[in-house]
Structure 1
Amino acid sequence: MPGPRHTGRREVLRAATVVAAGSAAVGITGAGSAAGADGHKVSAQGHKAGAQSHEASAADNVAAAHDRPAPDNPRFTLAVMPDTQYLFDGASINKEPVEAALRYVVEHARGDNIVFLSHLGDLVENGRPEEFAPISDAFRVLDRRGAGYSVLAGNHDIDARTDDQRGRTPYLDAFGPKRMRGTPTFGGASPDGYNTFHTFRAAGRGWLVLALDWRPSAAGIAWARKVVARHPRTPVILTTHDLVYADGAGGEARLSENGQRLWDELIDGNDQIFLTLNGHYWPAARTVRENAAGHDVHLHLSNYQDRYFGGSGMIRLYRFDLARNTIDVSTFSPWLLAKAPGRRNALERREVELTGADDSFSLPLDFEKRFAGFAPVVPRRPRPAARMLVRGTLAYWRFDGGGQDGSPADQALRVRDLSGRGNDLVRAPVPGSPADALRWSAEHHPDQPAHGSLRFEGGRPPLRGALLRTEKGAPLNTATFRSGFTVEAFFKLPADWASSRNAWSAILSRQGTLAAAGKEGDPAEPVATLSLSDGHALQWAVAPLDQDRNVTNWSHELPLGTWWHTAVVNDGRHTTLYVDGCPVARNPATSANGLTTLGLSWLLGGYEYDGALDQLFCGWIGDVRIVGRALPVGAFMNAHS
């Protein structure tokens, strides 16, 4: 559906915009070096790649070298594999669905940033060595790629009448600590070997997976509590075989008898446990319980052994998105997905993907709020001005040294240019405006160097508000930026910002019209402006030295009531507009070198049309920096490098 129509004189600028599309690679997963070749490699299309060979081994080594987790990507994926027991039942061995699922994980690791896989127990039906041998072989798909994963014993993997003190079993021989030590995420095991913990880094922080036995003993639970205590700031995902169940499809999950014990003795009192995953029962279900700290714990059951072909190697992907505060969940069979649609039988066609409310859903989760009790986000400290004076800084203004929060700024306000180049800002009079049209504020962007801003109360009609300008004779007034530039600003628009009052206000603009500069376009427009459109999108509209008319970059419409960082970067050839370090879509491919100047002032918070003040900014402006060269994103004022 097309967006809202924007009308007025700025239409001519929109028409002049040339869009250049771009793309960015996302994170990958897998770690460590490959340990050998995959004997029967299956692609996403289901084609076998042949027998074990030196060529396959080399390919695996190359893939493993490149498939590393993207630890700072705010999006990552946890893969979950529930009960596979019916595929490994005595003489009935069907390891292909599990192999296909594990290959899917490693082959899609890069695109989905899959950082870990958890098996939820009941790997096999009867706990026999001849059943564990083929599924153990299947898991070498992950071993060869150095991928992180966990397994745990279900009641069919061991003697169900025993707890984790049962001693040696075929399960422990196949998937015990000796094997797990070879994975990059293994953190340790309980002395009996049946309980393990695993850690990985994703979305810029550490995460911990507890993999608990079918029946953890008192010693096992005490061990788990110690593991959590040794990682006091780490969010924990608890995996075990038996925790919650539901009476029927669509029913809300409830704690089982064993689940109630785990809740009482481990989950309830450990706020770090925010998500639990279990199998054993069917149908799939979920619920939310409040722990002793008053926070939500999400309890999820997934098990598809009752479905066609023992669940067809179903996996569930938990796609964590910390930028959206959401976990998106999907459930499907990679084995069936890899088959050509025409080759699937009547029952397989029903099982490719499950779309029920408990199989495919989005879980809203404010991660920062949920983890605040044990890992509060420490506000970024102010950074001294000297650290912001990168090579080529021409002007740097910040507003943390003024009056008290909310107090009016002096009518004779002067803001020093901290670059030392003499580009001070002074307040310009706006007749009829109240004294508090410009106020000091303690508000600031969380990544802003200075913890302060100016609150501008601008708008029209009638035109009222405040602005600052560079003094006559300031070096910045005549700068042409032929070698490129970077213009940065932090700003926030109030929730009551309205197009009728506040449209086409400028954060920063340059005096002088296109007509006076001999440029084409709307003759009354200024030669440079960083403005907000009638739809509160950013507009960088300037007259480059090498063009006969102005060139415009546009952002998307920015939500109100939110602090933003913007940067405009010109490398001497083209200009790119960024919002919070991200390039926008409508960056023109048009050549753009330098900025036209008539030797007049730059305005902060003011915008002129036809040489007369036309609009005043409404909102907060934080640090502003102008550099006479193109800066990389990692050198922006909001960067964490």
Structure 2
Amino acid sequence: MKTRRCILNGSLAMLTAFAVTVLPSAALAASYRDGDCGAFTVAMIPDTQNYVDYRNQVWSGFAFDATEQLYAQMLWISQQSRSSGGDIVFATHVGDIWQHYSEWMDPHHAARGFKGMPNIGGSEVAISPKVHTRAFEIPAAVNGFKLLMGKMPFSVVPGNHDLDALWTDPAHPPRPELKQAGVRHVGGLTGFQSAFSDRSGFFDGKPWYVGAHDGGADSAQIFTAGQCRFLHIGLQYHAPDASLAWAAEMIGRYPGLPTIVTTHDYLGRDGRRHGASNPNNSALDSLDNSPEMIWNEFLSQHDQIFLVLSGHVSGQGLGADTNRFGNTVWQIMADYQARGQTAKDAGAERAIGDGWLRLLNFRLDTDKPSIEVRTYSTHYGKFAGEIPEYGTWYKAREGHAELSDQDFLKRDEFTVPLEDFHKRFKMSGQ
């Protein structure tokens, strides 16, 4: 087992080793609430890569423009925002915004001496970089997020597909006879930063966008609901040590605020931290962290982190772990990119997404605070439980053919009890 130093037990000395952008903020909050929060919703946007995939558009010969499902989803979220009379106060995209890579290896990793070989086997995405990434897919994604501008605070984190390059490590080559693709690595943030850097029109000068690192690949937001304040931290794929140190510094700047963390690859379908990722950055780079390392070195070390959101693995996952303070950290994974009923109905067999997203409905003003999790399709205009064919359409695609339709639905419609929430977070004056 690789030995990792613990970088986050009270020391932030590492912060002097890299550039950190922290935007001006008001006085640090010692409490998260001055009164009632009211009922409110956080929109969790799963992997949208298939919507903007250049192959899934009419001009590429596909049956319809899949981008329309992305735009419909973003428009619906915008229309349900608190500022528009709805109850959504924050939106977070879990990563894999677009589909294709644009380079064989990014200059930063090349300069560090990394070597690469062609990616053999696997999907079309891995075969070669595509000019369509920056010519079409990134601009299409940007157009979608423009629908959220001015409506609510939001976060975007880079998943593995949102990095510039994907390569195979020659020291761990493919073994086709064993159906093994070899160990892959991703790197490069030029494309992501061209769309979602901290200096982009989405975030520059926004009072709720309170910090960024690595050009916006890691970011922090403050959002409010009623008289309550919350901190959100977005972390890049397999967040490096420097990202975790920066995130710890952000928590230090906003003590007492209930904190949600979004990162792309973290939880598996079984509710455990995902350990089967490929690309597996931490296996090849001592600076990067696997989901387990992120838990051990960061998430479990800060008691105000109570919720972790992720995608990456097709399907759903729900887990709960106890942090070093003895309190529960809930972890929710959702990724609907494999859903393709809309394509099937159009005579095409292709994974699209079908407009599904997660809605996290918070109820914090009661003696038993909770999050009601519901799954909604902006394409069908219905919740999962309102579609009789829901299990028939999706459970086999997402690895749960053995479940009854009712049990499969429970993976997308459930309540998370926040039993220790009031103990951890106090009102002003308490």
Structure 1-normalised TM-score?
0.43
Instruction: Indicate conservation of the 8 Å contact 1:326/1:362, yes or no.
Output: yes
Match of 2:413 in 1: 360
Structure 2 residue 51 is matched with structure 1 residue 87: yes
Q: CA deviation at 1:166?
A: 5.1
In structure 1, C-alpha distance between the alignment counterparts of 2:189 and 2:315, rounded to whole Å: 32
Q: CA deviation at 1:136?
A: 0.6
Q: 1:320 aligns with which of 349, 356, 362?
A: 362
In structure 2, C-alpha distance between the alignment counterparts of 1:331 and 1:264, rounded to whole Å: 30
Q: CA deviation at 1:185?
A: 2.3
Structure 2 residue 99 is matched with structure 1 residue 125: yes
Cα deviations across residues 6-63 of structure 1 (Å, max 9, x unaligned)? xxxxxxxxxxxxxxxxxxxxxxxxxxxxxxxxxxxxxxxxxxxxxxxxxxxxxxxxxx
Match of 1:334 in 2: 378
Q: 1:107 aligns with which of 67, 79, 96?
A: 79
Tell me the amino acid that sits aligned with residue 138 of structure 1: G
Cα deviations across residues 450-476 of structure 1 (Å, max 9, x unaligned)? xxxxxxxxxxxxxxxxxxxxxxxxxxx
| Distance 1:347-1:272 versus aligned 2 partners, 3 A rule | closer
In structure 2, C-alpha distance between the alignment counterparts of 1:153 and 1:243, rounded to whole Å: 13
Tell me the amino acid that sits aligned with residue 318 of structure 1: L
Residue 311 of structure 1 aligns to a residue whose secondary structure is: coil
In structure 1, C-alpha distance between the alignment counterparts of 2:91 and 2:79, rounded to whole Å: 13
Stretches of structure 1 lacking an aligned partner (at least 5 in a row): 1-70, 339-343, 381-641
Q: CA deviation at 1:371?
A: 5.2
| Distance 1:317-1:182 versus aligned 2 partners, 3 A rule | farther
In structure 2, C-alpha distance between the alignment counterparts of 1:276 and 1:140, rounded to whole Å: 25
Tell me the amino acid that sits aligned with residue 148 of structure 2: L
Cα deviations across residues 537-566 of structure 1 (Å, max 9, x unaligned)? xxxxxxxxxxxxxxxxxxxxxxxxxxxxxx
In structure 2, C-alpha distance between the alignment counterparts of 1:311 and 1:291, rounded to whole Å: 34
Q: CA deviation at 1:347?
A: 9.0
Structure 2 residue 251 is matched with structure 1 residue 228: yes
Q: 1:136 aligns with which of 132, 142, 151?
A: 142
Match of 1:176 in 2: 197
In structure 1, C-alpha distance between the alignment counterparts of 2:336 and 2:193, rounded to whole Å: 24
Match of 2:315 in 1: 283
Match of 2:426 in 1: 376
| Distance 1:349-1:105 versus aligned 2 partners, 3 A rule | farther
Q: CA deviation at 1:296?
A: 0.3
Instruction: Indicate conservation of the 8 Å contact 1:242/1:256, yes or no.
Output: no
Matches within 5 A, 1:476-487: none
Matches within 5 A, 1:147-296: 147-158=152-163, 159-160=165-166, 168-179=189-200, 180-181=203-204, 183-246=206-269, 251-256=270-275, 258-296=290-328
In structure 2, C-alpha distance between the alignment counterparts of 1:347 and 1:372, rounded to whole Å: 38
Tell me the amino acid that sits aligned with residue 178 of structure 1: R
Instruction: Indicate conservation of the 8 Å contact 2:42/2:359, yes or no.
Output: yes
| Distance 1:233-1:337 versus aligned 2 partners, 3 A rule | same
Cα deviations across residues 371-404 of structure 1 (Å, max 9, x unaligned)? 534x434556xxxxxxxxxxxxxxxxxxxxxxxx
Q: CA deviation at 1:87?
A: 1.5
Q: CA deviation at 1:92?
A: 2.5
In structure 2, C-alpha distance between the alignment counterparts of 1:256 and 1:334, rounded to whole Å: 32
In structure 1, C-alpha distance between the alignment counterparts of 2:412 and 2:205, rounded to whole Å: 32
| Distance 1:348-1:301 versus aligned 2 partners, 3 A rule | closer
In structure 1, C-alpha distance between the alignment counterparts of 2:391 and 2:266, rounded to whole Å: 30
Matches within 5 A, 1:235-634: 235-246=258-269, 251-256=270-275, 258-308=290-340, 309-324=351-366, 325-337=369-381, 350=393, 356-366=409-419, 369-370=420-421, 372-373=423-424, 375-377=425-427
Match of 1:78 in 2: 42
| Distance 1:276-1:104 versus aligned 2 partners, 3 A rule | same
Instruction: Indicate conservation of the 8 Å contact 1:84/1:123, yes or no.
Output: yes
Tell me the amino acid that sits aligned with residue 83 of structure 1: D
In structure 2, C-alpha distance between the alignment counterparts of 1:274 and 1:167, rounded to whole Å: 30
Tell me the amino acid that sits aligned with residue 105 of structure 1: I
In structure 1, C-alpha distance between the alignment counterparts of 2:352 and 2:392, rounded to whole Å: 15
Instruction: Indicate conservation of the 8 Å contact 2:235/2:263, yes or no.
Output: yes
- Provide the aligned length of Structure 1 versus Structure 2: 295
Higher relative contact order, chain-length normalized (CA < 8 Å, sep 6+): 2
Match of 2:5 in 1: none
Cα deviations across residues 181-202 of structure 1 (Å, max 9, x unaligned)? 2545211111443100111112
Which structure has the larger Rg? 1
> Percent identity at matched positions?
29
- The RMSD of aligned alpha carbons is 3.0
Residue 302 of structure 1 aligns to a residue whose secondary structure is: strand
Cα deviations across residues 350-383 of structure 1 (Å, max 9, x unaligned)? 57x99722211111214xx42534x434556xxx
Match of 1:524 in 2: none
| Distance 1:280-1:335 versus aligned 2 partners, 3 A rule | same
| Distance 1:108-1:131 versus aligned 2 partners, 3 A rule | same
| Distance 1:359-1:105 versus aligned 2 partners, 3 A rule | same
Tell me the amino acid that sits aligned with residue 155 of structure 1: N
Residue 359 of structure 1 aligns to a residue whose secondary structure is: coil
In structure 2, C-alpha distance between the alignment counterparts of 1:160 and 1:296, rounded to whole Å: 36
Structure 2-normalised TM-score?
0.63
| Distance 1:183-1:316 versus aligned 2 partners, 3 A rule | farther
Cα deviations across residues 105-145 of structure 1 (Å, max 9, x unaligned)? 121224542111000000111042121111111111111x3
| Distance 1:254-1:165 versus aligned 2 partners, 3 A rule | closer
Instruction: Indicate conservation of the 8 Å contact 1:89/1:126, yes or no.
Output: yes
Instruction: Indicate conservation of the 8 Å contact 1:209/1:238, yes or no.
Output: yes
Instruction: Indicate conservation of the 8 Å contact 2:209/2:222, yes or no.
Output: yes
In structure 1, C-alpha distance between the alignment counterparts of 2:205 and 2:138, rounded to whole Å: 18
Instruction: Indicate conservation of the 8 Å contact 1:213/1:240, yes or no.
Output: yes
| Distance 1:161-1:188 versus aligned 2 partners, 3 A rule | farther
Tell me the amino acid that sits aligned with residue 216 of structure 2: G
Which one has the bigger helix percentage? 2
Match of 1:97 in 2: 69
In structure 2, C-alpha distance between the alignment counterparts of 1:286 and 1:348, rounded to whole Å: 18
Instruction: Indicate conservation of the 8 Å contact 1:86/1:124, yes or no.
Output: yes
